[in-house]
Amino acid sequence: MNQSVENQIEELREEIRKHNHNYYVKDISTISDYDFDMLLKKLEALEIKHPEFFDKDSPTQRVGGGVTKNFETIVHKNRMYSLDNSYSLEDLEDWEKRIKKIVEGPIEYTCELKYDGASINISYENGSLVKAVTRGDGFQGDDVTTNVKTIRSLPLKLTDPFLESFEIRGEIILPLDGFNKMNEEREAEGEDVYANPRNTASGSLKLQDNAEVAKRPLDCLLYQVVVDRSNFESHSEILGAARKSGFKVPETMTVASSIKEVFDFVEDWDEKRHDLPYETDGVVIKVNSLRQQEELGYTAKAPRWAIAYKFKTEQQSTVLNEITYQVGRTGAITPVANLEPVQLGGTTVRRASLHNADQIQKLDIRVGDFVFVEKGGEIIPKIVGVDLAKRPESSISTLYATNCPECDSLLVRKEGDAKHYCPNEFTCPPQVTGRIQHFISRKAMDIDGLGGETVDLLRKSELVANYADLYDLTIEQILPLDRMAEKSAQNIVTGIHKSKEIPFEKVLFALGIRFVGETVAKKLAKHFKNIDSLLAASFEVLVSVDEIGDKIAESIVAFASDEQNLILVERLKAAGVQLELSAEVLENQSNLLEGKIFVVSGVFYQMTRNELKKAIEDNGGKVSSSISKKTTFVIAGDKMGPSKLEKATNLGISIISEDEFIGLLN
């Protein structure tokens, strides 16, 4: 009897999955709503009666009444990079020239519409959805699996998996019809309407009750499969296989054989995009060959093999009421235009960046002007021009601020700098708060329980005046603060204590030395091994380090020559913060390949290309993307381009195999 019940349950699940796929992915209705509901109720009844046949991937489990109090932070197995932007055919042609210097032979491109939603990374194992994580900062995001499982266009289980284990990335969006319907319902109930589909989609993923998420008509459009190794040759081929397996991969994706064809696609969709059921703000262009993608690799922020073309943005005219000045954590002053509210790209805009004094002077921007505002590729809107025909006769030219709006210090502007700075870095309130916020941020010390408001509260209460003060905080000191419970105070102190385990390169980034970003911090930590060696280095020693230029070197020397900075570093040392590379890291590093430059080309089998590059860098070598007279070795894999091989041979460069490289390390 049980066997036939189990078969009945499986058949129902499969039938419901098929109807779901037809309706939500193929946009075909193969059953009435009533009949579909009856099938689902029949399945639910059988599953309740026979709990021994429970399956987490059953269609009935999309909404299980799950409540998520706290969304766990998950480190991405593969980083989710940003994309470089382009705005013209010339930008795309320049991009093509750059990639043709690295890869050889014909290049195919894929063109995909860039949907405006919330990026998501979904892991599948053995055909089942196991994890869904938001993009976050690209390195780590929030586990929103329970909420993502409510999206009906996303398969919980693949009937015909195209890969055993993989990650698939996409955009969770809210179709315009669904968004408008939600707002109509809110309006009818006297509630505030949602500002735009993108923010609403993103906010939906962080709702605690997944039954509420299920009520929202979210959709998921997939655009990339991430896997260590596969038999697929191209991006379009692997996405085609994903589509056949049940994923909603937009049919609008096109393969182009030239930048001219790419631009034809861009121009075509710039016109047609207004008829789409979703919001789109551009086109993503990718090199189609997965081998060429691997060879091109990544910069510190973006893949070299992909670029976004942004459609021309909406522009509006409004009145500039006032210019105010913001102070950043480095003391940089940013002038801000306070505007008469105006609708732009689905949001109400009240403020826009004016960038710097030169920009104000160039556009001759004045209070009372009618100004043109647009978003462009920026998150913060910007002013791009002035309607001089509407300028009042009483208009007065703008005089840029001379003193800090927060501490009244006289502003300075160094030669070659676009911005003015407040030099009072240790007592100017926004700088103090900003430096501590940077120190505790995810990419730096990653201190849980502390946010911007709490940091400001700690500063105003005179409990902290710098990031070293954090390590002296006690629960008793924190508890009296406004809206602070014992558990919260305990979490803060625990988070601060745990940050002592953060590795040296992240601590170095956390110190907030100007121009020392994440990548530079890693390079410096690896080269100097500890903070004392770095801060004792002269300008000449610093610029001799690979990829460390004059600006970075000058900034480090300036940091090291300030007595207050040295006191802070000593206090961090005393607190037990990691200011040198750990023994484990040092053990895995050597100078075996120091002074040697490698080019990695082709397909490899024992190590991935990234593993090869890491092994080179861990042992003191440098990886270059192109062959030149300075190249020491070319590590040649399968399918290495013939012209690269020829160039290396003509220049007399040693060409070694993957096995020979491993032998070199051993």
> Which positions are catalytic?
114
Residues 6+ apart with CB under 8 A from 101: 625, 626
Residues linked to residue 169 through DSSP beta bridges, in sequence order: 121, 224
Enumerate residues 6+ apart whose C-beta is below 8 A from 655.
633, 634, 636, 645, 648, 649
Whether the CB-CB separation of 157 and 16 falls below 8 Å is answered with no
Evaluate whether 470 touches 432 at the Cβ level (below 8 Å): no
CB 459 within 8 A of CB 429: yes
Alpha helices in 561-657 (DSSP H): 563-575, 583-587, 609-618, 642-650
Give Cα 45 distance to the centre of its chain.
Answer: 43
Angle between helices 176-188 and 197-204 (to 10 degrees): 80
User: To which H or E segment does residue 370 belong?
Assistant: strand 370-374
What is the b/e burial string over 461-481, where b = at least 16 CB atoms within 10 angstroms of the residue's CB? Answer: eebbebbbbbbebeeeebeeb
Listed in sequence order, the residues at least 6 apart from 225 whose beta carbon sits closer than 8 Å to its beta carbon are 163, 166, 167, 168, 169, 238, 239, 242
Give the number of residues written for the chain: 666
Ramachandran quadrant class, 462 (left: phi over 0; alpha: psi -120 to 50; beta: rest): left
DSSP, collapsed to helix, strand or coil, labels residue 415 as coil
Give φ, ψ of 232 to 5 degrees: -80, 145
Alpha-carbon distance of 499 to 440, in angstroms, equals: 9
β-bridge pairing 333-344 and 370-374: unpaired
Rounded-to-integer distance, Cα 489 and Cα 485, Å: 6
Give the residue from 447, 456, 449 showing the smallest Cα distance to 497.
Answer: 447
Exposed/middle/buried for 633, CB within 10 Å: 0-12, 13-18, 19+?
buried
Q: Which amino acid is at 296?
A: L
How far apart are alpha carbons 495 and 144 in whole angstroms?
Answer: 23
Q: Give the Cβ contact number of residue 397 at 10 Å.
A: 9
Question: How many angstroms separate the CA atoms of 652 and 640, rounded?
Answer: 17
- For residues 308 and 91, give the distance between their C-alpha atoms in angstroms, rounded to a whole number: 10
Distance of CA 593 to the CA centre of its chain: 32
Q: Which two tokens stand for residue 289?
A: 């060959």
DSSP assignment of 491-559, as one string? Answer: HHHHHHHHGGGS-HHHHHHHTT-TT--HHHHHHHHHHH-BHHHHHH--HHHHHTSTT--HHHHHHHHHH
Report residue 449 as tokens.
């329980």
